Amino acid sequence: MSTKPRLATVWLGGCSGCHMSFLDLDERLIELAGKVDMVASPITDYKGFPHADITLVEGAVANEEHLAHIREVRKKTRTLVSFGDCAITGNVTAMRNAFGVDDVLNRAYRETSAVVVGIPSGNHVVPKLLPRVRPVHEVVHVDYYLPGCPPPADAIWRLVGDLLDGREPVGDVRRFG
Amino acid sequence: MPERIVIHPVTRIEGHAKISIYVDAGGQVESAQFHVTEFRGFEKICEGRPFHEMPGLMSRVCGICPVSHVIASAKAGDGLLGVDPPPAAVLQRRLLNYAQVLQSHALSFFHLSSPDLLLGLDSPPEKRNIFGLVEKEPDFIRRGIRLRQFGQRVIELAGGKRVHPVWGAPGGVLEPLTKEARDEMAGWVKESIESLQMALGRLKSLLDSLQEEIQYLGNFPSLFLGTVSADGGLEYYDGMIRIVDSEGNVVADRLDPQRYNTFIEEASEEWTFVKFAYYKPLGYPGGKYRVGPLARLNVAQHAGTPLADRELREFQQRSRGAVCESFHYHVARLIEMLHSVERIDELLNDPELLGEDVRARALPNRKEAVGSCEAPRGILFHHYTVDHDGTMRKANLLIATGQNNQAMNMAVEQAAQRFVRPGQLTEGMLNRVEAAIRCFDPCLSCSTHAIGQMPLVIELRDRTGRILDRIERS
């Protein structure tokens, strides 16, 4: 059984740009592979969300599945990081809050479609959209904030390095916004 | 009601999705569906904002191919202004579009799909990822990481940031490219070509052992749609649309992307957030077509660069008509990467690339315009309507993954029928169904315009909800 720290990354409602910035660690990914066990991430295959020492959360809470998932992730994570501006403020994902859910769905699936067999949302296969998109810290306790759209790879490297080495992160990494 | 097996989530794809596999009374797979479970609503949230903001806002549709959205948005902006961008701006846009294809394809092939191909579709899932390749295939994966890095570095040097660069604008781009930036980019070319030739050789050497997957991970006739240059070559920035059928016959040619809505329409279904695009003359669902690397190599007569032309000739000999095996998206993706590096090299040697004049300025002259380009996964359209002062009234985005949606659903169903034995589920069976999806490299943040990720559990239930069989990745 490996005793390396357990790192996870999660996507909620966002564009995946924060995860792309994580991959922009480039060859530092190889170094990271030696330092941590990547226990869950969109780039690995994994079973139900495992216990993690550090979890980076990209994206805002936009539907009922996100809500259930982030609550489970919080329970199983020691240090939770709001990873990027959508997680921290809702950002672009929350721009739909200025409109009603029905207006947004109508524009996307009725007005722009020549054939409407059905409108997705909240049936047995796709999750129901929340009436208001929320930042992660409105839903669960968040330990650290890593801002940016997306956060630069160097900032990710520094924060993860500080947390792995047991140093209190310095600079802007705890600042909201 | 048939029983239903759910794969949730589909992993190692760029987005958040489930697959349902329906099992008939005799215990055989009857059908399957691919559900995308995220939604953000860009077609609404842009309303009331100035169109000059659109490249920055629409970039946020997707963190994987933001440059494609910036280019389509900026080109729609060119149309609203009624201007042609200066030559240096066009060259920069072409350069970054190739860089985008390179980095996005590198992610799809090396980071997400090569674990299946090199480690095996039945290999232990906890190691079947990029970190498993670091242990088993360190040179291969380092080269893949560096190919992606090259593409991202070109974007960063021109646009100041790798993801969501502040760079493209209606009328051109924001800044000239410096000589230092160009010289650094040029330093990557030789290694990148070597890496791609190595990867192509490696992939081709594996094809014999993957015959069953090639035959059953989405092998069927369909139309193919892509952009070609005036002389019928591969083209990603500007050009006209060609459609061929599975026999390779040209069904439609020289279609104007500006008039996309005269030959493409979309349908909505309640079981997925991705719409279904179809070729209008054949209706829904008959007008299914594929876009992206496989389609582009099926519609083009030549690549126009020497190394890619040699590969393209070999590729097109895989079939008497069009290449219909979706598995060959992987091969096509590597050929396109090789072509992109060759084109990047050409552009870096064009003295006009460093031109100082990079932006045409005007007030809005038109109220409606379409911008399009070939994004990594297929042709992309941004269609904007504005007020007299340039305030956005309507937007319609037509994205590659929506255009591949019918084909992806057919691929999932074909793979499930071939590989899934409902009484004796194994992880490898279900990984093959997911691998069918990975061929298409669907960018779900683009198509729905969102993304997410959940753990994987597959349950087979009867109609009362009782669990008959269950499997987790372990």
pLDDT digits (tens, 9 = 90+) for B225-255: 999 999 999 999 999 999 999 999 999 999 9
Instruction: Report the candidate in B180, B219, B189 with the shortest Cα–Cα distance to residue B327.
Output: B219
pLDDT tops 60 at residue B470: no
Interface of A with B in 95-134 (CB under 8 A): 95-96, 98-99, 103-105, 107-110, 112-121, 123, 125-127, 129
d(CA B189, CA B262): 41
Residue of B37, B453, B463 best to disrupt the A interface, most CBs of A under 10 A: B453
Nearest-CA distance from A88 to chain B in Å? 16
Residue partners of B191: CB distance under 8 A and separation at least 6: B146
Size of interface A-B (CB pairs under 8 A): 229
Contact A46 B455 (CB under 8 A): yes
Query: Per DSSP, what are the bridge partners of residue B5?
Result: B21, B460
d(CA B70, CA B175): 15
Contact A117 B267 (CB under 8 A): yes
Residue A107: per-residue pLDDT: 84
Q: What is the pLDDT of residues A37-84, one digit of tens each?
A: 998 887 777 657 899 999 999 999 999 999 999 999 999 999 999 999
CATH class of A6-97+129-174: alpha beta
Chain B residue at shortest CA distance from A43: B12
Residue B274: per-residue pLDDT: 82
Please tell me if residue B474 touches chain A, with a CB cutoff of 8 Å.
Answer: yes
d(CA B33, CA B169): 39
d(CA A57, CA A77): 11
Residue B425: per-residue pLDDT: 82
Contact A112 B453 (CB under 8 A): no
Residue A111: per-residue pLDDT: 84
Contact A92 B107 (CB under 8 A): no
Q: What is the DSSP string of A144-166?
A: EEE-SSSPPHHHHHHHHHHHHHT
Contact A47 B474 (CB under 8 A): yes
Q: Higher pLDDT residue, A42 or B465?
A: A42
Interface of B with A in 229-258 (CB under 8 A): none
Q: What is the DSSP string of B257-293?
A: GGGGGGTEEEEE-TT-SS-EEEEGGG-TTTT-EE-SH
Nearest-CA distance from B51 to chain A in Å? 16
Q: Where are the domains of chain B?
A: 3-40+410-472, 84-218+328-360
Summarize the confidence of residues B338-364 as an average pLDDT.
98
Nearest-CA distance from A82 to chain B in Å? 15
Chain B residue at shortest CA distance from A48: B455
Q: Do the beta carbons of residue B23 and residue B10 sit within 8 Å?
A: no
Interface of B with A in 273-302 (CB under 8 A): 273, 275, 280, 284
Interface of A with B in 17-46 (CB under 8 A): 17-21, 23-24, 26-27, 29-30, 33, 38, 40-46
Omega into A169 within 30° of 0, i.e. cis?
no
Q: What is the pLDDT of residues B8-21, one digit of tens each?
A: 767 666 666 778 88
User: For residue B344, which amino acid is it?
Assistant: I
- Give the global pTM: 0.93
Among B41-45, B144-148, B151-155, which is the least confidently predicted range? B41-45
Contact B43 A38 (CB under 8 A): no
Residue A172: per-residue pLDDT: 56
Residue partners of B308: CB distance under 8 A and separation at least 6: B234, B335, B336, B338, B339, B342
Nearest-CA distance from B435 to chain A in Å? 12
Nearest-CA distance from B271 to chain A in Å? 6
Residue B332: per-residue pLDDT: 98
Contact B271 A14 (CB under 8 A): no
Residue B45: per-residue pLDDT: 94
Instruction: Report the candidate in A157, A171, A138, A166 with the shortest Cα–Cα distance to residue A53.
Output: A166
All residues of chain B having their beta carbon less than 8 Å from the beta carbon of residue A43 are 12, 111-112, 129-130
Alpha-carbon torsion angle B145, A10, A104, B51, nearest 10: -40
Interface of A with B in 128-167 (CB under 8 A): 129, 149-150, 152-153
pLDDT band at residue B1 using 50, 70 and 90 as cut-offs:
low
pLDDT tops 90 at residue A29: yes
Residue B461: per-residue pLDDT: 52
Residue B451: per-residue pLDDT: 27
pLDDT tops 50 at residue B210: yes
Residue reference for tokens 């869950």: A40
d(CA A170, CA A172): 7
Nearest-CA distance from B162 to chain A in Å? 8
Contact B142 A30 (CB under 8 A): yes
Instruction: Residues B84-218+328-360: name the CATH superfamily.
Output: Cytochrome-c3 Hydrogenase, chain B (1.10.645.10)
All residues of chain B having their beta carbon less than 8 Å from the beta carbon of residue A109 are 268, 275
Residue A177: per-residue pLDDT: 37
Chain B residue at shortest CA distance from A100: B44
Among B23-37, B146-160, B305-319, which is the least confidently predicted range? B23-37
Residue B450: per-residue pLDDT: 29
d(CA B163, CA B451): 16
Could you tell me the two tokens for B447? Answer: 């198509």
